[in-house]
Structure 1
Amino acid sequence: MFFLHGSNNSADIIRMATAYEFDQLAEQHGYIMVYPQGYKKHWNDCRGSASYAANTDNIDDIAFFKAMINYFVDKASIDREQVFVAGISNGGQLAYKLAFESPESVTAIATFAANLPEQSNLDCSQSGQPISVAIFNGTEDAINPYNGGLVDLFGDTSRGVVLSTRETVDYWLRLAGITSAAQEKTLPERDGLAHTSVIEQRWQNNEGIQVRFYSLQGSGHVMPSTITRAPRILGEKSGDISGAEEIIDFFLNQSE
């Protein structure tokens, strides 16, 4: 499993910020956990207007990802059919790009705080191949707007316009040919905060492609966790679920 950090971040920091929970789950379930480092602390995702160097220098992060897979096939004999990618913010955007342009390289993806770019801001080819996806977005995210619009990273709006969360979920449902209603439930309250809650929706097509959506009510630009804290500047954090546990459950479900 690969976990991709967000903008202006690093592999070391995201590993610490998630309290090494992914490492602990990796040891528990017997998989390899990888935290790649982006070029100058960013990834070259599909947002064509982005001003950071990974985009302006046109870094080939798809080739980088494929090279990492080849490395682990050679050094650790991993199964190419069991490669999972999760990411937050800019890292979530790269996960979308991998699903767009190289779906044969990944088994499933999970994203936090990331909506798909609007068509006018989309600088990626789209294979049209369905893939299992889990999406976690906060309704009060001031950076990645839940209802779509201009991404605003503390005054930097160069990342352009994104779709709404609903439109992002619907894109992956359409690819999978899913038209049925979701299995929906509000997850149990765990953090004692009345203003945060989690609504989960699940779908699956006849070929086993799954889409999961976690609407993080009252939450900001952060990953939900029962054990970590987040900077206030990023908004409220939901402690009703562990994002790490949920995506590991989702990924392991693809292996069955």
Structure 2
Amino acid sequence: MRLYFVLTIVFFIFSCMGLSRKLSPNEKLDFLEIQNNKRTYIVHYPKKWDGSPIPMLVALHGRFGSGFSMIKQTKLDILSDTKGFVVVFPDGFKRSWADGRGNTPADQNKINDVVFIESIVKRLVAEGSVNPKEIYLVGHSNGGFMAQRLAVEKPELWKGVVSVAAQLSVFTLKRKLNLKTKPVSVGIIAGTDDPLVPYSGGYVRDGGEILSVDDSINRWKEWNSCNDNLTKKSENFKEENSDIKIDFLRFEFCAENSKVGLIQLNGLGHSWPGETPMIPFINQGKTTKVIDGSKLVWDFMEAL
């Protein structure tokens, strides 16, 4: 218990690095009042935007992160400028999300993050900047588990949902079994050697039982009524001392044109691909500089 407390403090200290930066002219910091809490989020509009409704990506940071740290880790703001979509970086409650597993400050304080994220989406649609038929969601780690929860509870909001270093939790599985919801395209990006969120499932240090990546994909295949036609391809990337292989698996023929995909990062760990880990004293497994995680996410979304 003492070790976990020390690790938590270290995690907090180092995650504070890069939590803020100056907003650019095409960004705004906004907020909503939810459950008597001021909930903030950053909106980045592409630099060459003409004001017409365009796609939007909501990006959820991991535990101990923030909207600003998510910008620094993913560089999705730069990709937004290139590809022409709005990207939103919400701030979790006390740097956490209520993904349902029970141990985060957001869960313990019974924060309704489903309502928070849904409210951001509806606000931006109402202001006329976002095409409601092209709204996407991605999350990393705790944010990835939250993305899976939102895919189950609010599938009508999203054209596509991707979780990075996170799969289905038992909590979200049980929620799904009690809900009748529409299909939604879902992708999972997972390192096979993730020491924090086991690829094979089990229990996570910050709480809750999770399914394996393979079981999570099969659940989404079932829920989306996909047939057994699975497309596969692989890509190899060279680094200084090793080669990295990525396997792409995708069920293309599912109900309501939905898709289910896995991007398997062989030998890699917990970090957002391409990111420099911000917490050097926590073992997050093998990292890489030659794979662009944000590109992988948007490539999945663009193919829907």
- 1:209 aligns with 258
- 2:91 aligns with 37
Gaps of 5+ in 2: 1-56
- 2:143 aligns with 91
| CA shift in 2, pair 1:223/1:126, >3 Å | farther
- The answer (yes or no) to whether the contact 2:194–2:268 under 8 Å persists in 1 is yes
The partner residue of 1:162 within 210, 223, 228 is: 210
**Matched residues in 1 for 2:92 and 2:171: separation?**
25
The partner residue of 1:151 within 204, 207, 218 is: 204
- 2:112 aligns with 60
**Aligned amino acid, residue 237 of structure 1:** T
Q: Which 4+ stretches in 1 moved above 3 angstroms?
A: 119-128
Gaps of 5+ in 1: none
Matched, 1:137 2:190: yes
Q: How many angstroms does 1:98 deviate by?
A: 0.9
- The answer (yes or no) to whether the contact 2:231–2:252 under 8 Å persists in 1 is no
SS at match of 1:111: strand
- 1:198 aligns with 246
Q: How many angstroms does 1:4 deviate by?
A: 0.2
SS at match of 1:9: coil
| CA shift in 2, pair 1:82/1:243, >3 Å | same
- 1:176 aligns with 224
Matched, 1:111 2:158: no
Q: How many angstroms does 1:43 deviate by?
A: 0.7
**Matched residues in 2 for 1:193 and 1:168: separation?**
32
**Aligned amino acid, residue 150 of structure 1:** Y
**Cα deviation digits, residues 147-181 of structure 1 (max 9, x gap):** 011112xxx4xx12111110011111111222324
The partner residue of 1:16 within 66, 72, 77 is: 72
Identity of aligned residues (%): 27
**Matched residues in 1 for 2:73 and 2:296: separation?**
17
**Matched residues in 1 for 2:257 and 2:159: separation?**
12
| CA shift in 2, pair 1:241/1:183, >3 Å | farther
**Matched residues in 1 for 2:240 and 2:233: separation?**
18
- The answer (yes or no) to whether the contact 2:237–2:290 under 8 Å persists in 1 is yes
Q: How many angstroms does 1:3 deviate by?
A: 0.6
**Matched residues in 2 for 1:126 and 1:245: separation?**
32
- 1:253 aligns with 303
**Aligned amino acid, residue 59 of structure 2:** F
**Cα deviation digits, residues 101-127 of structure 1 (max 9, x gap):** 111111110111102112698566544
**Cα deviation digits, residues 190-246 of structure 1 (max 9, x gap):** 334436321111221154211121111111111212xx3225521112445311112
Aligned residues: 243
**Aligned amino acid, residue 111 of structure 2:** I
**Matched residues in 2 for 1:62 and 1:51: separation?**
17
| CA shift in 2, pair 1:193/1:131, >3 Å | farther
- 2:235 aligns with 187
SS at match of 2:196: coil
Instruction: Give the greater-gyration-radius structure (CA).
Output: 2
The alignment yields a C-alpha RMSD, in angstroms, of 2.0
- 2:271 aligns with 222
**Matched residues in 2 for 1:190 and 1:211: separation?**
28
